[in-house]
Structure 1
Amino acid sequence: MATMVSVDVGAQSGRVALGRFDGETLSVAEIHRFPNVPVCVHGTLHWDALRLHDGILQGLRAAAREAGGRIDSVGVDTWGLDFALLDRAGRLVQNPVHHRDRRTDGAMEEVFARVPAQELYERTGIQLMSINSVFQLWSMAAAGDPALEVAETFLMMPDLFHYWLSGVKACEFTAATTSQCFDPRKGVWALDVLERLGVSSRLFPEVVPPGTVLGPVRDEVVEETRLQGAVVVAPASHDTGSAVAAVPFRHPGSAYISSGTWSLVGVEVAAPVIDDRTFSANLTNEGGVGGTFRLLRNVTGLWLLHECRRAWALEGREWEFAELVAMAEQAPPPRSFIDPNEPAFLPPGDMPARIREFCVRTGQEAPAEPAVVVRCVLESLALKYRQTIGLLDAATGVAPAEIHVVGGGAMNRPLCQWTADATGLPVIAGPVEAAEIGNLAVQAMALGELASLDEAREVVRNSFSPAVYEPHDRGPWEDAYGRFDALVQAPATRPEPLVGGRGVIEPAQR
């Protein structure tokens, strides 16, 4: 029996889960949850990294008590893009800055003046988004930020927590690839590109593959948590990388949607797909487990609903997320659609008003009642998924046989059914806690309990039962897609400021 702990830190909360693998099935139990609240200081939006580390330590203590002190390993996954800087003594230079901070406003155009957009894409294979790490680093270099001047080590967010747990400074592959600072074809940092942007190559440490045993838990952490004998494993430390590792694919070439605050719509490929088609479609190539890559596109997801819910709560109309979804099921089909990737929907704010403004601006009827707004969002997401899967089909030449939905969206029954209806493909929904499951599965691989990613997915199939949604009532959806596609043209080389991983407000059901 292998006993492992996964730490999955999202943008609203972190979760610590205890996993046990008996050689055939994997069980997962959430042990501890802690909040993740960004903090704005002097106009800069930060992550509170020290508070997050304390939440991790509390969870590890609880896991050690639950397991009677017998823990074999621990691994952390988080969102992508954001990073920490350490000084020469290994101390945090400043709290990491949030990707939604306004420091990257205008950064893309300035970077492209030095490294043309297509060249940057050719070197990194990553979707052009203003919040990518490369644009954050450029904004610091251009401003002469003293934090960048004194820094000695760059670590992605999960790497920071692994360093605090193990004392080892290394960047894990799946998280590193999200930065747009990494060359996936050469398997190294794109240091020459970074030097052209004024970012020192000295910052970037070794990149290690998912499933690397970084080392034993540090003595001070053992004293704090009682994790005697445990090792720190770098899983697929980008949360979407862990989530996709847990997708129980039934047919090669099937699509997946890692659905939460953001929807990552993609397919798994054996090598990066970087060409004119993927550049024009603004598709991204993120590292996966076992030498795989995730060819995908970011689609704004349930962030839209959570911001709507927050706006209505400020007006005194409070609903649980599940209540809004139930209301949408009873609402009439919308006469209007939105583009979920509209840049105006990116920042926090009055999302219902922004949705109405989009509809008016595009000559559509503005949805007024909350139930209609929610249904408009969910159906627009389903149609956007169809459009995105079409881009992936064109890029790979492989039409998916079905769609796997993992994460919190797997519990959203109307979204899953409407996705099946909109695409004409069966939707396999689950597992919900895919990031934790994938994290644990990769740890089991590192411990020698599982031999391969295929074997890990077989364990997932044996351990968790998905829900299946078959497409029906296709006629109205064909008409709806025609209207949606005319309204929301598939992107050409239009960079969109979206996020890989998860955004500011993380739903309880991801």
Structure 2
Amino acid sequence: MRYLAFDLGAESGRAIIGTLADARLTLEEIYRFPNEPVRIPDGLHWDVLRLFHEMKEGLRRAAARYGTGLKSLAVDTWGVDFGLLGDKDILLANPYHYRDGRTRGVMEEAFKIVQREEIFSQTGIQFLPFNSLYQLLAWRQQHPDLLSQAQAFLMIPDLFNFFFTGIKAGEFTNATTTQMYNPRTGAWAADMLAKLGLPVNLLPAVNPPGTIVGQILPRVARETGTGEIPVIAPGSHDTASAVAAVPAAGPDYMYISCGTWSLVGTEVREPVINEQTLSLNFTNEGGVGGTFRLLKNVTGLWLVQECRRTWARRGENLSYSELTAMAREAKPLEAVVDPDHPSFLNPEDMPAAIQAYCRETGQPVPGTKGEIVRCALESLALKYRWVLEKLEDILGKKLPVVHMVGGGTQNELLCRFTAGATGRQVVAGPVEATAAGNLLVQAMAMGEIKNLVEAREIVRRSFVLKTYDPENTGAWEEKYEVFVKLVS
């Protein structure tokens, strides 16, 4: 059977066909398009109408190639961002980008009404200033008249599902990223939201991954040349789909879904909401198959992406492979940064921000492009170790293997650094874990796969995985002591 996955990330979106035959999954990218946020006077927005146009083009190309052979489609995207619909389902504004600055200080204002401890007890979600909760509070503060017109709140993948089907519905894995959903009760945290003066009536019913949302609208079918194929909610948060495709054979492992963000965690059957996870600012996001993802959001290859973008603005257009080659030649473990320091959230000049951090913390200041990129990659590897140690403390057990999935696994230097920093064997792959997980959940929804265990067996058979063993662990141990002081 053939399924169509729309996988939208922070830089681009793809339409990917998955063919499941003989217990193997093969992937075919049929369309790729840019995902570029747009800054206008009121802030930074996602261009969702353009993205939907591009998705319909991907669907048109899929239909032209495979006709009625497509069994379903599904959309996954990043979390926390959302759209608001008004009367007659009008989109009230282009959704804001999570890196927009309008939520600055909003989280602290919320704590004056509902204590931090209560918010965590209700939601189990890591405190980040751009969580949906604080974005919606920013709407109430800055656009109260517009918010009063809202009749529906839809996370970004749910919004695209609405564009495809006309049906307004939520999905579990993305709902849990909002810091407005109670994973223990399986419902929106209505009492907490009421205390904060937020309209609970906007929030949709929440369906589990693998739910058939509905059939695509007849006009979309006519536009794209498809039949009335079903739209399925996968793990619509891209990390949930990526973790569904982690090729683990047992429960004791740490995963790193590595891209613009690094989502670093493990899979558990129940959310872990206690004083320890609160103090460490860990998060409990929904997963596929009745699981939860106990994890930490770590600023990932954003540091390298922004360095590359800064240099490109200066006329130095370098590929990621060229930058990695430069980093490979730089001197190892000279200076490190905390990737999650606020100065790296959205600086105008990322290389200068990294240099300033090193200067202010009394470390050697990286000067060349190779030194700056190496600093970023080594710092990421050390942050992965920090999360690994905290996870093992929380769970009271060792996690002997690290599974790295996603586009970041193409950076072999980062994979090697991760093995050295953690002292664990690293299994890298698949690169297209998010798309694979999306497609396999569709197959589960259509009855072709029984469960998550079978899906992961298919991943192990279908993709080439690469193993990295720890190297130079003594030097990593020494630098880790420096890193821990910086993080603390």
State the TM-score bracket (shorter-chain normalisation). Answer: over 0.9
**Paired position in structure 2 for 1:402:** 401
Moved more, 87-96 or 451-460: 87-96
User: Contact 1:23–1:449 at 8 Å: present in 2 too?
Assistant: no
Deviation at 1:286, TM superposition (A): 0.3
Q: Which residue of 1 aligns with 2:304?
A: 305
2:239 touches 2:257 (CA, 8 Å); kept in 1?
yes
Measured against aligned partners, the alpha-carbon deviations of 1:343-374 in whole angstroms (never above 9, x if no partner) come to: 00001421111111101111111111111111
**One-letter amino acid matched to 1:354:** A
Distance 2:175 2:194 in 1: 17
Q: Any conservation in 2 of the 1:93–1:151 contact (CA below 8 Å)?
A: yes
Q: Distance between the aligned counterparts of 2:486 and 2:18, measured in 1?
A: 46
Match in the other structure for 1:328? 327
Match of 2:223 in 1: 224
Distance of 2:303 and 2:289 partners within structure 1: 33
Say whether residues 1:188 and 2:209 are aligned partners.
Answer: no
Mapped to 2, the partners of 1:189 and 1:439 lie a distance apart of 24
Paired residue for 2:357? 358
Give aligned-pair identity as a percent.
50
Partner of 1:99: 98
Aligned-pair RMSD on alpha carbons?
A: 1.0
Deviations 1:65-107 (A, max 9, x none): 1213321100000000000111131221111111111110110
Deviations 1:328-357 (A, max 9, x none): 111111321101011000014211111111
Q: 1:346: which partner in 2?
A: 345
**In 2, distance between residues paired with 1:94 and 1:417?**
44
**Aligned partners of 1:259 and 1:410 also within 8 Å:** yes
The 1-side partners of 2:135 and 2:458 are apart by 39
Q: In structure 1, what is the Cα distance between the partners aligned to 2:3 and 2:143?
A: 43
Q: SS state of the match for residue 129, structure 1?
A: coil
How far does residue 316 in structure 1 lie from its aligned partner after superposition? Answer: 2.7
- d(CA) in 2 for partners of 1:395, 1:439: 29
Equivalent in the alignment of 2:115: 116
SS at match of 2:256: strand
Per residue, is there more helix in 1 or in 2? 2
Describe how 1:26-65 pairs up with structure 2 within 5 A.
26-65=25-64
Give the superposition deviation at 1:451.
Answer: 0.6
In the other structure, the counterpart of 1:480 is 479
- Residues 4 and 72 in structure 2, CA contact (< 8 A), matched pair in contact too: yes
Aligned pair 1:8/2:16, yes or no?
A: no
* Cα offsets for 1:161-188 (capped at 9, x unmatched): 0111111110100000000010000000
* Corresponding residue SS for 1:178: helix
Alignment size in residue pairs: 488
**Bigger shift: residues 464-473 or 432-441:** 464-473
Superposed CA deviations along residues 208-240 of structure 1, whole A, max 9, x for unmatched, are: 000001111110111011220411100000000
**Which residue of structure 2 lines up, in the alignment, with residue 292 of structure 1?**
291
Q: Deviating runs (4+, > 3 A) in structure 1?
A: none
What SS does the corresponding residue of 1:89 show, helix, strand or coil? helix
> In 2, Cα distance between the equivalents of 1:198 and 1:37?
33
Looking at structure 1, the residues matched to 5 and 145 of structure 2 have their Cα atoms a distance apart, in angstroms, of: 35
In structure 2, the gaps of 5 or more residues are: none
Q: Does 1:130 align with 2:121?
A: no
Q: Secondary structure at the match of 1:441?
A: helix
Q: Is the 8 A contact 1:331 1:371 kept in 2?
A: yes
After superposition, where does 1:181-330 map in structure 2 within 5 Å? 181-330=180-329
State the alpha-carbon separation in 2 of the partners of residues 377 and 44 from structure 1: 28
Give me the TM-score of the superposition, normalised by structure 1.
0.94
User: What letter corresponds to residue 136 of structure 2 in structure 1?
Assistant: L
CA contact (8 A) 1:340 1:381 kept: yes
Partners of 2:298 and 2:200 in 1: how far apart? 32
Matched residue type, 1:456: A
CA distance in 1 between counterparts of 2:132 and 2:430 reads 30
Q: Provide the C-alpha distance between the structure 1 equivalents of 2:42 and 2:90, rounded to a whole number of angstroms.
A: 23
Match of 2:157 in 1: 158
Assess, with a 3 A threshold, how the Cα gap between structure 1 residues 220 and 348 changes in structure 2: closer, same or farther. farther
The more displaced of 140-149 and 19-28 is: 140-149
> What's the secondary structure of 1:72's corresponding residue?
strand
How far apart, in 2, do the equivalents of 1:454 and 1:47 lie? 36
Q: Which residue of 2 aligns with 1:496?
A: none
Match of 1:499 in 2: none
How many angstroms apart in 2 are the aligned matches of 1:42 and 1:331?
41
8 Å contact kept, 1:334–1:372 = no
User: How far apart, in 2, do the equivalents of 1:70 and 1:239 lie?
Assistant: 25
In structure 2, relative to structure 1, the CA distance for the partners of 1:209 and 1:23 (3 Å cut) is farther
TM-score by length of 2: 0.98
Superposed displacement of residue 142, structure 1:
2.2
Aligned 8 A contact 1:70 1:228 in 2: no
CA shift for structure 1 position 23: 4.4
- Alignment of 1:71 onto 2:78: no
* TM-fit CA distance, 1:250: 2.8
Secondary structure of the structure 2 residue equivalent to 1:68: helix
Kept after mapping to 2: 8 A contact 1:73/1:230: yes
Structure 1 counterpart SS, 2:69: coil
**Aligned AA for 2:137?**
W
Which has the bigger relative contact order, CA under 8 A and spacing at least 6?
A: 1
Aligned partners of 1:175, 1:327: CA distance in 2, in Å? Answer: 38
